[in-house]
Amino acid sequence: MEENLFQPIRKRRIWRWVIALLLLAAAAAAAWVVVFRVNQFSLTVVPAGPSEVILEYGETYTDPGAGAVLRGSLFWREGLDPRIPIHVEADVEDGRLGKHTVTYSAQLRSLRASASRLVRVVDTQCPVITLTPDDPENLLPGKLYEEAGYTATDNFDGDITDRVVRVETEGLVTYSVLDSSGNPAYAERKIPVVDRTPPVITLNGGADYSFLLGSCFDDPGYSAEDNMDGDLTDAVEVTGVVDWLTPGTYPVTYTVRDAVGNESIVTRNFTVRGAPRQDTVTPNGQVIYLTFDDGPGPYTHALLRVLKKYGVKATFFVVGDENPELLREIVDDGHSIGIHTTCHDYQKIYSDPQDYFRDLYAMQDIIRRETGVETWLMRFPGGSSNTVSRRFSKGIMSTLTRAVEDAGFRYFDWNVDSDDAGSARTAKQVRENVIEGLKNHRVSVVLQHDIHDYSVDAVEDIILWAQDRGYQFLPLESDSPTAHHSVNN
């Protein structure tokens, strides 16, 4: 009785399961229709690597391959890898120049796709020209040259010797060739020519060159050119010595040879001109030449005021360019200005005559630049009788005292020494030393230094003493008495 009661219930459950399964099958069928009917698929073949490959002739082509991509219009738009085989068709021939095509194709059911890659086989290597070495006998100067031979080979064309273009010019043979791809090759061979033409030497400034004694000697230059060897200036040999401290004419010879021995020789005459010596004019009466060395300095302006007060003209042998305004004031006040040195460094100026003259002309340039005056008056540091120069160059003062006058300068020593650079340290001592010296000379050249205040302080008393006794004060000129000392070196 109980079994009959539950039987209708079981039957209802079974039918429910059946209906559910049927509904699920219908849904799956609908989904299949949507995915595989409505969602339309496409198949694409994608080559790996570049779409075009450049392959040098002789290289082996290795294909990078390709893959397939499956895409849907609604689903899997990014694509799926269907893992299907790719069929490759290639006509690449490594030994044939030009364009070659590699084709890739694939099929999935009814879907088909293909793609291609372009492979260019090119030849970019240049041919090689090989020259047969010359027989040394074939290279003797003056002998008619005979071609020693040559070959040309190309990696693609092989032997292309018959395509070589040979051009012979004076001293040179050139060889050129193009392979079938237009790649060039060049070579050249130097050959001797008959050369009997000597080089040409050109002298800057001409064959006769003169300069004033004391101007530090410097060859104005030269050049040498050869019709075959070109510039031979560095090969010129120069012989001859110019004594730039002694008037005279000095021949200098320039010699050069080209590669085959042709020689050229030219001579230039250097004339060292000495300036005429200035005659000395001794003034009448009792004359005092006040001279001041080593300035201008901190006391020079005060000295100039004293000189102006009494209408006295003096001479200043100046040093350096640290006080240009005082240099101008000296000249503007009517005093004579002369050269002492740029530095007053004995070792620097007395080590060599050339060093001295460089310093001398440098100080002359400073005075000219700052005052507009070109002075030829000078005084040696330490005087012409100095012995300190022996430490640096034996006999240099004997050379310089002659050379500066040959160069047009007029050097002055002194015959009255104030000793303000020695033991005198007060104005009284300076005054007494000067006055005592003045008593011993009708024409006095007085040495003082305007870099010492005590020496400057003594000047007014010296002027008053001298004027009371009828002395006249004059500035040094090029014809004034020089008061030269005996040269001790």
Residue 351 reports pLDDT greater than 90: yes
Q: Mind listing the pLDDT tens digit for each residue in 292-301? A: 999 999 999 9
3-class DSSP assignment, residue 174: strand
Residue 114 reports pLDDT greater than 60: yes
| Structure letter (DSSP) for residue 388 | G
Q: Are residues 115 and 158 in the same domain?
A: no
Please tell me the predicted confidence (pLDDT) of residue 409: 95
Residue 5 reports pLDDT greater than 60: no
Looking up tokens 């090759």 gives 185
Q: What is the mean pLDDT of residues 467-485?
A: 97
Contacts 24+ apart (CB under 8 A), 93-101: 93/121, 94/55, 94/57, 94/58, 94/59, 94/60, 94/61, 94/121, 95/57, 96/121, 97/57, 97/121, 97/122, 97/123, 97/156, 97/181
Please tell me the predicted confidence (pLDDT) of residue 28: 61
Residue 230 covered by a domain: yes
Position 393 confidence tier, pLDDT thresholds 50, 70, 90: very high
338: CATH: 3.20.20.370
Q: Are residues 245 and 337 in the same domain?
A: no
Q: What is the mean pLDDT of residues 125-139?
A: 85
The residue among 106, 122, 138 that closes a domain is 122
Q: Are residues 111 and 236 in the same domain?
A: no
| Structure letter (DSSP) for residue 125 | P
The length of the chain in residues reads 489
Q: What is the mean pLDDT of residues 16-36?
A: 65
Residue 34 covered by a domain: no
Q: Mind listing the pLDDT tens digit for each residue in 230-285? A: 999 999 999 999 998 889 999 999 999 998 889 999 999 999 998 888 899 999 99
The residue among 170, 190, 210 that closes a domain is 190
Please tell me the predicted confidence (pLDDT) of residue 139: 64
74: CATH: 2.60.40.10
The residue among 273, 304, 333 that closes a domain is 273
Residue 14 covered by a domain: no
Q: Mind listing the pLDDT tens digit for each residue in 196-230? A: 789 999 999 999 999 888 777 788 999 999 998 89
| Structure letter (DSSP) for residue 36 | I
Q: What's at 179, amino acid-wise? A: D
Q: Are residues 251 and 378 in the same domain?
A: no
| Structure letter (DSSP) for residue 296 | -
Q: Are residues 322 and 445 in the same domain?
A: yes
CA distances to 94, 258, 312, 411, 447 from 388, rounded to whole Å, are 93, 52, 34, 18, 19
Q: What's at 271, amino acid-wise? A: T
Pairing of strands 287-293, 98-108: unpaired
Q: Are residues 179 and 157 in the same domain?
A: yes
State what percent of residues in the chain have pLDDT above 90. 64
Q: Where are the beta strands (DSSP E) in 14-142?
A: 41-47, 52-56, 66-72, 87-90, 98-108, 111-122, 128-131
Q: Are residues 101 and 156 in the same domain?
A: no
* Whole-structure pTM value: 0.58
Rounded distance between C-alpha atoms, residue 38 and residue 31, angstroms? 10
Residue 264 covered by a domain: yes
Residue 252 covered by a domain: yes
Please tell me the predicted confidence (pLDDT) of residue 381: 97
Q: What is the mean pLDDT of residues 433-442?
A: 97
Q: Are residues 327 and 439 in the same domain?
A: yes
Q: Do residues 489 and 398 make contact, with C-beta atoms less than 8 angstroms apart?
A: yes
Count of structural domains, the chain:
4
Q: What is the mean pLDDT of residues 436-464?
A: 97
Q: Do residues 199 and 264 make contact, with C-beta atoms less than 8 angstroms apart?
A: yes
Q: Are residues 179 and 222 in the same domain?
A: no
Residue 489 reports pLDDT greater than 80: yes
Q: What is the mean pLDDT of residues 87-100?
A: 81
Rounded distance between C-alpha atoms, residue 429 and residue 442, angstroms? 22
CA distances to 49, 212, 271, 347, 376 from 355, rounded to whole Å, are 79, 17, 21, 10, 18
Instruction: Identify the residue with better confidence: 377 or 22.
Output: 377
Q: What angle do CA 471, 473, 479 make, to 5 degrees?
A: 115
Token digits of residue 163: 């395509």
Rounded distance between C-alpha atoms, residue 415 and residue 385, angstroms? 12
Q: Are residues 447 and 398 in the same domain?
A: yes
Please tell me the predicted confidence (pLDDT) of residue 1: 44
Q: Are residues 135 and 116 in the same domain?
A: no
Q: What's at 396, amino acid-wise? A: I
Q: What is the CA radius of gyration of the chain?
A: 54
Residue 375 reports pLDDT greater than 90: yes
Residue 3 covered by a domain: no
144: CATH: 2.60.40
Residue 19 covered by a domain: no
Instruction: Identify the residue with better confidence: 147 or 306.
Output: 306
Q: Are residues 305 and 342 in the same domain?
A: yes
Q: Do residues 320 and 359 make contact, with C-beta atoms less than 8 angstroms apart?
A: no
3-class DSSP assignment, residue 417: strand
- Phi, psi angle pair for 158, to nearest 5°: 80, -135
Mean model confidence pLDDT for the chain: 89
Q: Do residues 336 and 476 make contact, with C-beta atoms less than 8 angstroms apart?
A: yes
Residue 16 reports pLDDT greater than 90: no
Domain membership of residue 459 as a residue range? 287-473
Instruction: Identify the residue with better confidence: 42 or 93.
Output: 42
CA distances to 287, 304, 481 from 312, rounded to whole Å, are 12, 9, 18
Rounded distance between C-alpha atoms, residue 237 and residue 112, angstroms? 89
Q: Is 98 exposed, middle or buried (0-12, 13-18, 19+ CB in 10 A)?
A: exposed
3-class DSSP assignment, residue 251: strand
Q: What is the largest CA-CA distance in the chain?
A: 184
Residue 482 covered by a domain: no
Q: What is the mean pLDDT of residues 362-391?
A: 97
Instruction: Identify the residue with better confidence: 413 or 194.
Output: 413
Q: Report the chain's terminal Cα–Cα distance, integer Å.
A: 165
Q: What is the mean pLDDT of residues 422-451?
A: 97
Rounded distance between C-alpha atoms, residue 224 and residue 233, angstroms? 5
Q: Mind listing the pLDDT tens digit for each residue in 169-197? A: 877 899 999 999 999 999 999 876 667 78
Please tell me the predicted confidence (pLDDT) of residue 411: 98
